């Protein structure tokens, strides 16, 4: 018997089976197809992905595998329906639903691929060391996925002979009524969506909003909660956050990392004290601190000469804001101890009678320490001015290079990043003051 005749006899035999047997065969066929697809396609794909250095393919394989299985199930149901339903009217009635299902599955595949692949593609056009705007790429991804879903829904509903724009018009009317009745609530919800897109802060960041400084403990649909330093829970409506200035101490360093935190400590001493002696003592303490950074270097400046005191301002930096209070505690404790050792008097509104002989002995050693401090501060000030002058010259050089039209975009980006860092360094004391 010829093969075609065998196939024809088999089909005729299958057509003659009871309905329950046909349904069982259809289910079995779908299961076998799913299993075969896993063995032949999905498992080898996963093995290839394991040996890949890229991370995006690991993220992609799972979601696409799920959607491939959904497609096989939908196609199996479609083919089974073609075989089981003999009534053309019933068959034609079901056809649009299968068409809409295929469209929605294709839309879902496009959406998840966009979610994973678009950030990877956009990253290729960004400088790794440049300061980026957090939330820009996610917003673009969200807009693209929303457009894909809208197009997919439009064609799926067209397949079902449903007017999408009529539905949207009805929804718009309902939304208008709800918007009037729940204006503030809806506004808070909408602004929470904006916050999730722009991401000015995340849970765990230390921020300052409306004069309240604290750690973000939750970002809700209606409000954001801050835990202040004195353990008070501050609840701020999302409406307020969107329309006010936000200072994020955990993101100033760029690329989502905490910025270094400056310490500014003001010390007032008696007019009897030598300026260089005080400056050198404070500078050495800042350099000895285990919490303060070596770069930028600590600095001490005379801040003010008021009626009773010489006021000094110590500038030091810590790695991030979490070290601020520990470093401040160490410095203040050390200043108190070392000022006593050095014989430096911190001004206070009382009069103290000091034994003359003891003061003479102390002053004798103090004069020698003041002499050493003045010599050291001459060198420190000279080096400090040389560093600032070198920074100014380098900044001018960079500005000239940036103005040259023949430079590539990537090169200009590098120069702009360096110039911003130099400007920040030169403006440090003005900014912190």
Rounded distance between C-alpha atoms, residue 170 and residue 154, angstroms: 16
Share of the chain above pLDDT 70, in %: 73
Rounded distance between C-alpha atoms, residue 346 and residue 270, angstroms: 6
pLDDT of residue 313: 92
Q: Are 242 and 251 spatial neighbours (Cβ–Cβ below 8 Å)? A: no
- At residue 406, does pLDDT exceed 70? no
- Kindly report, residue by residue over 357-389, the tens digit of the pLDDT: 444 445 667 777 777 777 777 787 777 777 777
Q: Average model confidence (pLDDT) for the chain? A: 77
Most trustworthy range by pLDDT among 51-55, 263-267, 375-379: 263-267
Q: b/e string for 418-432 if b means 16 or more Cβ within 10 A?
A: bbeebeeeeeeeeee
Rounded distance between C-alpha atoms, residue 159 and residue 147, angstroms: 18
Report the interhelical angle of 56-84 vs 88-123 (nearest 10°). Answer: 170
Split at pLDDT 50, 70, 90, the class of 53 is confident
Residues 6+ apart with CB under 8 A from 333: none
- At residue 405, does pLDDT exceed 70? no
Pairing between β-strand 206-209 and β-strand 310-318 as defined by DSSP bridges: unpaired
CATH of 201-248, one of 2.60.200.20, 1.20.1260.10, 3.40.50.1100, 2.30.30.60: 2.30.30.60
Split at pLDDT 50, 70, 90, the class of 138 is low
- At residue 127, does pLDDT exceed 80? no
- At residue 132, does pLDDT exceed 50? no
- At residue 5, does pLDDT exceed 70? no
Phi/psi for 300 (5° steps) reads -130, 125
* Mean of pLDDT values over 413-425: 66
Split at pLDDT 50, 70, 90, the class of 182 is low
pLDDT of residue 258: 56
pLDDT of residue 366: 75
- At residue 255, does pLDDT exceed 50? no
Q: How many CB atoms lie within 10 A of CB 177?
A: 9
Rounded distance between C-alpha atoms, residue 233 and residue 430, angstroms: 34
- At residue 60, does pLDDT exceed 60? yes
pLDDT of residue 128: 45
Q: Are 260 and 319 spatial neighbours (Cβ–Cβ below 8 Å)? A: yes
Residues 6+ apart with CB under 8 A from 150: none
* Mean of pLDDT values over 222-243: 85
pLDDT of residue 150: 86
* Mean of pLDDT values over 185-213: 78
Split at pLDDT 50, 70, 90, the class of 351 is low
pLDDT of residue 155: 87
* Mean of pLDDT values over 59-82: 87
Q: Are 201 and 251 spatial neighbours (Cβ–Cβ below 8 Å)? A: yes
Q: Are 313 and 433 spatial neighbours (Cβ–Cβ below 8 Å)? A: yes
- Kindly report, residue by residue over 155-176, the tens digit of the pLDDT: 888 888 877 677 777 777 666 7
pLDDT of residue 292: 87
Q: How many CB atoms lie within 10 A of CB 291?
A: 19
Q: Tell me the whole-structure pTM to 2 decimals.
A: 0.43
Phi/psi for 405 (5° steps) reads -75, -20
pLDDT of residue 347: 78
- At residue 277, does pLDDT exceed 70? yes
Q: Look at 43-52, 165-174, 188-197 and tell me which has the smallest mean pLDDT.
A: 165-174
C-alpha distance from residue 50 to each of 39, 59, 101, 322 (Å): 16, 11, 32, 38
- At residue 420, does pLDDT exceed 70? no
CATH 3.30.70.100 fits 261-350+357-432, yes or no: yes
- At residue 432, does pLDDT exceed 50? no
Reported as half-sphere exposure (CB side, CA atoms, 13 A), residue 164 has a value of 12
Pairing between β-strand 233-237 and β-strand 246-248 as defined by DSSP bridges: unpaired
pLDDT of residue 421: 65
Is the pLDDT higher at 371 or at 33?
33
- Kindly report, residue by residue over 313-348, the tens digit of the pLDDT: 998 888 766 678 888 888 999 998 888 888 888 876
Nearest to 60 by CA among 107, 104, 115: 115
pLDDT of residue 106: 92
């Amino acid at each position: 018997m010829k093969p075609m005749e065998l196939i024809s006899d088999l089909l005729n035999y299958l057509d003659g089976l009871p309905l329950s047997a046909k349904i069982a065969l259809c289910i079995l066929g779908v299961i076998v197809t799913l299993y075969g697809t896993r063995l032949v396609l999905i498992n080898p794909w996963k093995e290839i992905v394991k040996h890949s250095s890229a991370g995006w393919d690991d993220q992609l394989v799972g979601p696409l595998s799920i959607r491939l299985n959904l497609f096989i199930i939908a196609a199996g149901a479609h083919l089974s329906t073609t075989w089981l339903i003999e009534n053309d009217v019933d068959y034609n009635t079901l056809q649009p639903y299968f068409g809409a299902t295929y469209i929605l599955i294709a839309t879902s595949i496009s959406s998840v691929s966009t979610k994973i692949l678009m950030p990877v593609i956009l990253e290729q056009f960004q400088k790794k060391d440049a300061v980026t705007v957090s939330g820009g790429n996610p917003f673009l991804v969200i807009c693209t996925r929303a457009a894909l879903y809208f197009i997919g829904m439009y064609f799926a509903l067209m397949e079902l002979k449903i007017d999408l724009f009529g539905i949207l018009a009805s929804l718009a009317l309902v939304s208008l009524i709800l918007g009037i009745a729940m204006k503030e609530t809806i506004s808070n919800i909408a602004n929470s969506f904006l916050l999730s897109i722009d991401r000015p802060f995340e849970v765990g960041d230390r921020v300052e909003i409306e004069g309240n400084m604290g750690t973000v403990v939750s970002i809700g649909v209606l409000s954001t909660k801050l835990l202040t330093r004195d353990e008070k829970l501050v609840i701020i409506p999302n409406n307020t956050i969107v329309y006010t200035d936000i200072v994020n101490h955990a993101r100033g360093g760029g690329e989502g990392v905490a910025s270094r935190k400056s310490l500014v400590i003001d010390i007032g001493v008696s007019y009897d004290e030598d300026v260089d002696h005080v400056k050198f003592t404070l500078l050495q303490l800042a350099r000895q601190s285990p919490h303060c950074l070596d770069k930028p270097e600590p600095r001490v400046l005379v801040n003010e000469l008021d009626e009773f005191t010489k006021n000094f301002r110590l500038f030091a930096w810590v790695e991030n804001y979490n070290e601020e209070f520990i470093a401040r505690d160490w410095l203040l404790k050390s200043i108190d101890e070392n000022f006593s050792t050095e014989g430096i008097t911190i001004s206070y509104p009382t009069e103290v009678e000091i034994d003359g002989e003891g003061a003479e002995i102390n002053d004798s050693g103090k004069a020698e320490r003041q002499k050493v401090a003045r010599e050291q501060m001459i060198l420190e000030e000279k080096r400090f001015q040389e560093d600032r002058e070198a920074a100014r010259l380098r900044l001018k050089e960079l500005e000239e290079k940036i103005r040259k039209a023949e430079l590539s975009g990537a090169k200009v980006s590098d120069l702009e990043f360096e110039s911003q860092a130099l400007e920040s360094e030169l403006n440090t004391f003005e900014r912190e003051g």
